[in-house]
Structure 1
Amino acid sequence: MASDTQPFRTYVEESLDALAGDPGRDVLLHRERRVTAGEFRDLVHRMARALLARGIVRGQTVTLLCGNLPETIAARYAAHLIGCRVNHLYNKLSADSQAAIVRDVETRALIVDPRHLDRAVDITELVPGPDVLVLGPAKVGRDLLELAAEQSAEPLTGLARPDDVCTIRHTGGTTGHPKGICTTYEQVRPARGATAGPGEEPPRLLVCTTLAHAAGMFADGTLRGGGCVVLLEEFEPAAVLAAIERERISHLFLLPPLLYQLMDHPDSAVRDTSTLRSIVYGGCQSSPARIADAIRRFGPVLVQFYGQNEAGGISLLGREDHDPLRPDRLRSAGKVLPGVEVAIRDERGRDLPTGEHGEICVRSPSLMKEYWKQPELTAQVLRNGWLHTGDIGFLDGEGYLTVVDRLKDMIVVVGGHVYTTELEDLLNSHPQVLQSAVFGVRDADRMERVHAAVVLAPGSTLEARDLRDLVREERGAMYEPTVITLCDALPLTDAGKPDKKRLRQQAERQFSPA
Structure 2
Amino acid sequence: MTPFIAELERDRDRVVLHDRRGGLTAGQALDTIRRLARALAGLGHGPGRIAALIGSMTSRLHLLAHAVELTGGGQVEIPDTLPFADQAGLIAECGACLAIADPGGVRRTRLPDLAALPGVRLLTLGPGPGTDLLGTAAALSAAPFPPRARPGDPNRITLTGGTTGRAKPVLRRFRAGPPRTAPGVRELLAGGAPPRLLKTGRLTGLGRALGDAAVAAGGRLITLPGFDPPEVAAVLAEQKATHLVLSPYELRLLLDHLDGSAARRFPHLRSVLSATAATSPALLSRAVDRFGPIVRAGYGQTEAGSVARLEPEDYADGSFEVRRSAGRPLPGVRVEVRDPRGRPREPGERGEIWVHSPRLTTEYWRRPEATAHALRDGWLRTGDVGFLDADGLLTLLGRASDAMEIAGEVVFAAEVDSWLQEHPAVLESATFDVPDSTGGATLHTAVVTAPGAAAEAGAPELRAWLSRRLDPRRVPSSVLFVPHIPLTYANEPCRDTLRKWHAAG
**Fold agreement, TM-score > 0.5:** yes
Partner of 1:231: 223
Alignment of 1:254-269 (within 5 A): 254-269=246-261
Report the 3-state secondary structure (helix = DSSP H, G, I; strand = E; otherwise coil) of the residue aligned with 1:450.
strand
Matched, 1:284 2:274: no
Contact map agreement 2:115 2:121 (CA 8 A) in 1: no
Letter in structure 1 aligned against 2:223: L
Report the 3-state secondary structure (helix = DSSP H, G, I; strand = E; otherwise coil) of the residue aligned with 1:438.
strand
- Cα gap change, 1:85/1:504 in structure 2, threshold over 3 Å: closer, same or farther? farther
Report the 3-state secondary structure (helix = DSSP H, G, I; strand = E; otherwise coil) of the residue aligned with 1:319.
coil
Report the 3-state secondary structure (helix = DSSP H, G, I; strand = E; otherwise coil) of the residue aligned with 1:323.
coil
Partner of 2:349: 356
Residues 243-263 of structure 1: per-residue CA shift (max 9 Å, x gap): 222221110112122222222
- Give distance in 2, aligned partners of 1:364 and 1:217: 15
Matched, 1:83 2:72: yes
| Farther-moved stretch of structure 1 (418-427 vs 328-337) | 328-337
Matched, 1:221 2:181: no
Partner of 2:155: 166
- Cα gap change, 1:214/1:495 in structure 2, threshold over 3 Å: closer, same or farther? farther
Alignment of 1:178-189 (within 5 A): 178-186=167-175, 189=180
Q: 2:444 aligns with which of 436, 441, 451?
A: 451
- Give distance in 2, aligned partners of 1:474 and 1:138: 57
Displacement, 1:107? Answer: 0.4
- Give distance in 1, aligned partners of 2:317 and 2:450: 21
- Cα gap change, 1:268/1:167 in structure 2, threshold over 3 Å: closer, same or farther? farther
Q: 2:96 aligns with which of 78, 86, 107?
A: 107
Letter in structure 2 aligned against 1:318: E
Displacement, 1:190? Answer: 4.2
Letter in structure 2 aligned against 1:133: L
Displacement, 1:242? Answer: 2.2
Contact map agreement 1:295 1:322 (CA 8 A) in 2: no
CA-based RMSD of the aligned residues comes to: 2.1
Q: 1:343 aligns with which of 333, 336, 343?
A: 336
Matched, 1:426 2:419: yes
Displacement, 1:384? Answer: 2.8
Contact map agreement 1:190 1:224 (CA 8 A) in 2: no
- Give distance in 1, aligned partners of 2:346 and 2:247: 31
- Give distance in 2, aligned partners of 1:431 and 1:195: 34
Matched, 1:303 2:290: no
Contact map agreement 1:181 1:372 (CA 8 A) in 2: yes
- Give distance in 2, aligned partners of 1:402 and 1:507: 29
- Give distance in 2, aligned partners of 1:324 and 1:495: 32
Letter in structure 2 aligned against 1:484: V
Report the 3-state secondary structure (helix = DSSP H, G, I; strand = E; otherwise coil) of the residue aligned with 2:259.
helix
Q: What is the percent sequence identity of the aligned residues?
A: 37
Displacement, 1:28? Answer: 1.4
Partner of 2:321: 328
Letter in structure 1 aligned against 2:139: E
Q: 2:112 aligns with which of 117, 121, 131?
A: 121
Residues 161-184 of structure 1: per-residue CA shift (max 9 Å, x gap): 333221111124331432110112
Report the 3-state secondary structure (helix = DSSP H, G, I; strand = E; otherwise coil) of the residue aligned with 2:469.
helix
Report the 3-state secondary structure (helix = DSSP H, G, I; strand = E; otherwise coil) of the residue aligned with 2:476.
coil
Matched, 1:137 2:132: no
Partner of 2:464: 469
Contact map agreement 2:443 2:476 (CA 8 A) in 1: yes
Taking structure 1 as the reference length, the TM-score comes to: 0.91
- Cα gap change, 1:335/1:16 in structure 2, threshold over 3 Å: closer, same or farther? same
Displacement, 1:195? Answer: 4.4
Residues 49-80 of structure 1: per-residue CA shift (max 9 Å, x gap): 00001111212111111223211101111111
- Give distance in 2, aligned partners of 1:92 and 1:195: 29
Extract unaligned runs of 5+ from structure 1: 1-8
Report the 3-state secondary structure (helix = DSSP H, G, I; strand = E; otherwise coil) of the residue aligned with 1:230.
strand
Contact map agreement 1:209 1:215 (CA 8 A) in 2: no
| Farther-moved stretch of structure 1 (46-55 vs 406-415) | 406-415
Q: Which runs of 4+ in 1 moved over 6 A?
A: none
- Cα gap change, 1:375/1:234 in structure 2, threshold over 3 Å: closer, same or farther? same
Q: 1:49 aligns with which of 24, 27, 38?
A: 38
Partner of 2:395: 402
Q: 2:268 aligns with which of 272, 275, 286?
A: 275
Aligned length: 495
| Farther-moved stretch of structure 1 (181-190 vs 301-310) | 181-190
Contact map agreement 2:211 2:221 (CA 8 A) in 1: yes
Taking structure 2 as the reference length, the TM-score comes to: 0.93
Letter in structure 2 aligned against 1:285: A
Residues 471-511 of structure 1: per-residue CA shift (max 9 Å, x gap): 22221321121231222222233333233343334334x25
- Cα gap change, 1:501/1:169 in structure 2, threshold over 3 Å: closer, same or farther? farther
Partner of 2:372: 379
- Cα gap change, 1:173/1:391 in structure 2, threshold over 3 Å: closer, same or farther? closer
| Farther-moved stretch of structure 1 (184-193 vs 435-444) | 184-193
Report the 3-state secondary structure (helix = DSSP H, G, I; strand = E; otherwise coil) of the residue aligned with 1:494.
coil
- Give distance in 1, aligned partners of 2:208 and 2:481: 34
- Give distance in 2, aligned partners of 1:266 and 1:393: 33
